[in-house]
Structure 1
């Protein structure tokens, strides 16, 4: 195995002291431009890789930010991360992305790994399975800045960027009622996650507002994957009284539901209207195009990064906690628009 190049190797090659090489690599003002150039050229020739962890321990700052997302196959999360990176890279920070795969255990491992890497802060969206906040409290106890986005818990008392999930559901149900729907099913996310709980409460309150029945058989929790949408749609079609609309709390579940409806030759939206949530790119490409809720991922990513920077750049000031709630936009497409079908 090839030995890793050290500062000492560069120093020996150029007849300099290790201290002089270190200063040259860090652009110390007392080192001449020629020496800096020679050192950087030799470092490149010897394939020198700086030890960021050792540097972080010395300086107390790593310029690394950990970002934890539940999954990376979602356009929403990849867009949020892209915008977080865009803002932080401009300020000289590098981003380490960790994926929990909706697993609480994996999420805890991600947190441990990021803290071990001496990150300057963590920006996170919680896994579906997470009910125990012990590891998030651990981040706070270590004094590492923490910003949550999309999925978070107010109990942690940290900066939090989210959307108005409750009113999003009100908009969805109101639209379906205006299309003449009277028996609206809800493919819900896990109720231990705040955003899905808020969406379900909004759905229930909207049904009450329009004097429509709230029936437990029409509300089914799941992980909102495509296969969950398929399974639940099959379950709903077996009811004696089928729904005339389905509101899924995620676009992948809505796509699964659409597949089952089409396989059973059920007309969408004429027989059963359908709405998803998140505005994944595929929702506009399928036929019929799926109505959905736009969560403004670009704004969420930028705000999460800016909130983090505000927190880290003012360590001695009492910066008040930020809870930023973004309004959503209901995008009406063919899958729910009975008036144009």
Structure 2
């Protein structure tokens, strides 16, 4: 069956010009007069012409599309990073394609393959929790496609990346709890192969040691860091009659779960247990009490990541040294730890 989709040949026929002239006009070629460009754009709008980005990429070698892979887009952190990337990309007339891995390795691989097939000019990614094999990203690099990582990264990939100083953020959070009287601080963390959780745990431990407190492995609890995980870990800690007077969670979601269980059990926050999360999700400023948290400066991270990406893209083919940019966090002190 013949496709009804409008083409540059349809525009050319209506204006009695060549298809190559239409193509040049649509790409703002300086050889085409402004009058012709206006006519072409007017007809293109009338017949609802939609450019074929893949065909254009094959012809020009550029799609002006950037693939962005995130574990999930419905978290304030990732959506804000995406906003930062998109703001910078749009200024340079680039568009982004967002893919979510949902922290599943197989989905991350499929998303990477789809972006390669879509002829994106490059990929920006944050690794999923289940990612231990990096062959799909090596394939990206082998094809000469620029790759930049942010937040969740891997040292085995020799690429530029942008990260938060997670160690510093955790250190500040735990030091704040200790300065406010806490001596037995539970730490919620996740798989240590993931750089952000490994660094936050290290910051937690270093803050305890710097304040003359011992690190008790029984107070370090592992999970997927969702709200239900925070609930479960807190319930188990209470049931096991473990003494604690503070919680530092590597996720605001798990911190919120902890807060819910503490309140349900009549434990006053911050009177009996003080609480600090990580991420500065919007709900932390609306909860009762409001939750002290570490801000990750996500929009800045997105803009810096985009700037780094375009530096690589504009110097494609040149010998570039992989860069690491580290962003400083900010401790937002609220009612849950005062």
CA distance in 2 between counterparts of 1:57 and 1:45 reads 26
Report the more deviating stretch, 293-302 or 18-27: 18-27
CA distance in 1 between counterparts of 2:139 and 2:193 reads 20
**Unpaired segments of 5 or more residues in structure 2?**
none
Match of 2:294 in 1: 293
Match of 2:126 in 1: 125
CA distance in 1 between counterparts of 2:332 and 2:11 reads 59
CA distance in 1 between counterparts of 2:26 and 2:220 reads 60
CA distance in 1 between counterparts of 2:82 and 2:31 reads 39
Match of 1:328 in 2: 329
Matched position secondary structure for 1:108:
helix
Matches within 5 A, 1:180-329: 180-329=181-330
Q: TM-score, normalised by structure 2?
A: 0.95
Deviations, residues 10-40 of structure 1 (Å, cap 9, x unaligned): 2223333322322232233343333332222
Match of 2:143 in 1: 142
Deviations, residues 52-98 of structure 1 (Å, cap 9, x unaligned): 10000111111111111111121111111111111111111111111
Deviation at 1:99, TM superposition (A): 1.2
Report the more deviating stretch, 204-213 or 75-84: 204-213
Report the more deviating stretch, 107-116 or 204-213: 204-213
Matches within 5 A, 1:30-49: 30-49=31-50
> Judging changes above 3 Å, is the alpha-carbon distance between structure 1 residues 330 and 35 closer, same or farther for their aligned structure 2 residues?
closer
CA distance in 1 between counterparts of 2:275 and 2:106 reads 34
1:85 aligns with 2:96: no
CA distance in 1 between counterparts of 2:282 and 2:308 reads 27
CA distance in 1 between counterparts of 2:171 and 2:277 reads 14
CA distance in 2 between counterparts of 1:150 and 1:94 reads 21
Deviation at 1:316, TM superposition (A): 4.4
CA distance in 2 between counterparts of 1:230 and 1:278 reads 18
CA distance in 2 between counterparts of 1:259 and 1:134 reads 41
Q: TM-score, normalised by structure 1?
A: 0.94
RMSD (CA atoms): 1.6
Match of 1:176 in 2: 177
Matched position secondary structure for 1:111:
helix
> Judging changes above 3 Å, is the alpha-carbon distance between structure 1 residues 30 and 163 closer, same or farther for their aligned structure 2 residues?
closer
Deviation at 1:174, TM superposition (A): 1.3
Match of 1:18 in 2: 19
Deviation at 1:252, TM superposition (A): 0.8
**Unpaired segments of 5 or more residues in structure 1?**
none
Matched position secondary structure for 1:247:
strand
Match of 2:5 in 1: 4
Matched position secondary structure for 2:131:
coil
Deviations, residues 160-179 of structure 1 (Å, cap 9, x unaligned): 11111112222122111112
Report the more deviating stretch, 233-242 or 207-216: 207-216
CA distance in 1 between counterparts of 2:27 and 2:74 reads 38
Matched position secondary structure for 2:326:
strand
> Judging changes above 3 Å, is the alpha-carbon distance between structure 1 residues 31 and 208 closer, same or farther for their aligned structure 2 residues?
closer
> How many residues are treated as equivalent by the alignment?
337
CA distance in 2 between counterparts of 1:274 and 1:216 reads 19
CA distance in 1 between counterparts of 2:23 and 2:293 reads 54
Matched position secondary structure for 1:28:
coil
